[in-house]
Structure 1
């Protein structure tokens, strides 16, 4: 079964959500910045996540945390290239977390299958065409430059995703290759982040597309619980399980083993594992 076939099976409730393991090849990511910047460290970590049960590996070489420092496209690709080359054909599909068409084109040519664009084709005018030309799939995430506590998030989702999907359609990206991400933690208040998780089902039904949930260790958990980054796993697990009930087809996570175990016990309790 291909990656997108598995995503659509999860969207239909025929299998558990796919686990997207996070590999940050950056010096400044909010959770593990610098830990996997060295090429071999990134490769070893990706292989570790794969062994723990990751269904897809999401490699990123530019942090998207608040206040991040932009990385030139050539440098971003130089960080990514050793891991993409080493992991190609290792049995786990590769996703590339980038907003740059240059990086996406290089990665797709090297064997990646999915582009995870946190600006939903709207940061780089060539991104949608690059995805189409590469025959790739894409995650289209909602984002905002500024937080507005008075924002009607549903209407903003509609405006943003309507534009992103129009760009995809004009470039020739088939809708069956697209996944939506509500953008939890990006340009939203803590309360809006909660609302976004609660409203996944509405988003999924409106656009008739699978949804990815990226909650892992996010700061809004710290806001409500007062927990530092490394103590947010229980909250992440609970919120992801809630998101599964709303129809989330993928979970983007740092802690693959814990999420794999939760899903395995869930299947055992439901009697769906022999």
Structure 2
């Protein structure tokens, strides 16, 4: 996949308690309609998640996540065989099962911190791997926001992991700075303001701010009303070097990329 033009990753939550769209996909028909809509609107990747990572989210048994995620991958690949699917999980067993069913990318919010076998799996499969910055886990991360220097700490975190995986031959790595994960609202904006500094790591970057609390709490609105704010920060992400936008709203994100590309032509 050529990332010289930014790509859109559509969020497909098959969980019941995600912060924005949890519980909206109840049947295979709901799933396929969601996938079809996103693909028709220009999604380059469909990111399937069966474990909510919102702050304070309840734990889900491995077997339940594995079964739910794998079933979603199977259904989408059967109906849309050309789709590129990433599996949003921090569990290596879930990731491996979904890759066997057709997923092409692993998207790990913990960057291997919550499963010691994840890096070994990525190395063995040599599969594209998205790793996010987070501290703790979804239930504890809100209490883990003390940093010496936020951006430097994030860069150091990724530098160690990139070096470790590169030495083992993994080529396709993408970083996600983890907006909303173990970061206060002020820290999220600090990170966004300095996002271009992460380019020193020399790997593509994903930005995931879609309808998050840094937007709706700042604008004093609800997640349902946070699309305009999402678009604003998506454009900021692109201008600071993001190669992938992870979003709930594909059409609007695709339009943002189109306008960004026009700006680049005039730069």
Assess same fold via TM > 0.5.
yes
Instruction: Report 1:101-120 matches (<5 A).
Output: 101-120=92-111
Q: Secondary structure of 2:224's match?
A: helix
The farther-off stretch of 129-138 and 52-61 is 129-138
Q: Does 1:244 align with 2:218?
A: no
Other-structure match for 1:27 = 16
Equivalent position SS for 1:225? coil
- Deviations, residues 20-71 of structure 1 (Å, cap 9, x unaligned): 0000000000000100143332232112111111000000000000001111
8 Å contact from structure 2 (residues 159, 201) kept in 1? no
Q: Mind listing any 5+ residue stretches in structure 2 that lack a counterpart? A: 136-140
Structure 1 residues 262 and 166: CA distance shift in structure 2, 3 A: closer
Aligned length: 258
Q: Deviations over 1:118-154 (max 9, x none)?
A: 0111110100111222231011100023343564212
Q: Which residue of 1 aligns with 2:133?
A: 142
With structure 1 as the length reference, what TM-score do the two structures score?
A: 0.88
Match of residue 193 from structure 2 = 198
TM normalised by structure 2 equals 0.90
Shift of residue 260, structure 1, vs aligned partner: 1.6
Contact 2:133 2:158 in 1 (8 A): yes
Q: C-alpha displacement at 1:92, in angstroms?
A: 2.1
Aligned residues of 2:235 and 2:260 also touching (Cα < 8 A) = no
Residue aligned with 2:12, SS = strand
Paired residues of 2:28 and 2:75 also in contact (CA < 8 A): no
SS in 2 for 1:136: coil
- 2:165 aligned partner: 168
Higher deviation after alignment, 73-82 or 140-149:
140-149
Q: Which residue in the other structure is 1:86 paired with? A: 75
The answer to whether the 8 Å contact 2:238/2:260 transfers is no
Map Cα deviations across residues 143-201 of structure 1 (whole Å, 9 max, x no partner).
0233435642123213422342244245x352x30001000010101111011112221
SS at match of 1:186: coil
In the alignment, is residue 223 of structure 1 matched against residue 217 of structure 2?
yes
